[in-house]
Amino acid sequence: MFNKRKFATGAGVVALAATMTLVGATAAYAGTDERIDVAGGEVTFTADGDYIDAYDLRKDGYCMTAELMITNQPDYWTVSSCGYNTYHYRSLSFINEGAPVYIRACYTKKHSGGSYTRVKCSGWQGAHA
């Protein structure tokens, strides 16, 4: 004879297993991109490959620098573009998947020795690797 109670219990277990599988499948972190546009250019963080990019889009004598900071790390990483309509990027593939990161755009001045001085920066904006 057909036992409705056993059938309902079995169906509940199957539904729970299907739900757990679905939750496990969606737990992989996709990451988020971030882009900051300013008058002199733009900087971006691309989660697919963990790249920071800097675009200098103004003939103003300043460079556009992307600065990236990883939560709970003392250092930050930069890439700069100097000169009208120039673009540079940097791969930061060592960043852990899903790690919170922060990016900002800075106007910088390049010195003859190759170092840079910050002139003005945007606020930090968050993303995930």
- Exposed/middle/buried for 106, CB within 10 Å: 0-12, 13-18, 19+? buried
What domains does the chain contain, in order, with CATH numbers? Answer: 34-128 (2.60.40.10)
Please write the tens of the pLDDT for every residue from 28-71: 567 999 999 999 999 999 999 999 999 999 999 999 999 999 99
- pTM of the full predicted structure? 0.75
Q: Cα–Cα distances in Å, from 43 out to 4, 10, 46, 62?
A: 62, 54, 10, 14
As a whole number, mean pLDDT of residues 6-31 equals 50
Please write the tens of the pLDDT for every residue from 68-121: 999 988 899 999 999 999 999 999 999 999 999 999 999 999 999 888 999 999
Would you state the pLDDT for residue 28?
A: 55
